[in-house]
Amino acid sequence: MCSCVLRIAGDLFALLPIDYVYIHANDERLNTVTGHTEKETIVSVKIDKETFKSLNLEAIDCSDSLNNFEHNMKFLKTKGFQPVEKLVK
């Protein structure tokens, strides 16, 4: 997931004249109370171009590298990604 976030950020910075980008990853999960699937944010990151460009992408651990940016992510080894609040401007 985190490597995809970094790849998307890199592509956007290469294509657009922007200084930062917000990336949100969503998942559809079953709400066991209602029996319906609901869309939940599982990763939300604000990536600034200057910090992104300073990363050595060949040597980083993608999930650890998110600590360089404002982000919301909660991953539990036993339960996987958990819902988080979406970052806003």
Inside any domain, residue 21: yes
> Would 87 be classed as within a structural domain?
no
Would you say residue 88 lies in a domain?
no
pLDDT single digits (tens) 70-89: 999 999 999 999 999 999 98
- Identify whether the C-beta of residue 70 lies closer than 8 Å to the C-beta of residue 46: yes
The reported pLDDT for the residue numbered 89 is: 82
Distance CA 18, CA 35 (A): 41
Indicate the number of domains in the chain.
Answer: 1
The domain in which residue 36 lies consists of: 2-82
pLDDT at 6: 96
Is the whole-model pTM more than 0.85? yes
Kindly state whether residue 89 falls inside one of the protein's structural domains: no
Question: Burial, 9: exposed, middle or buried (Cβ in 10 Å; 0-12, 13-18, 19+)?
Answer: buried
Q: Establish if 59 belongs to a structural domain.
A: yes
**53 has pLDDT over 90:** yes
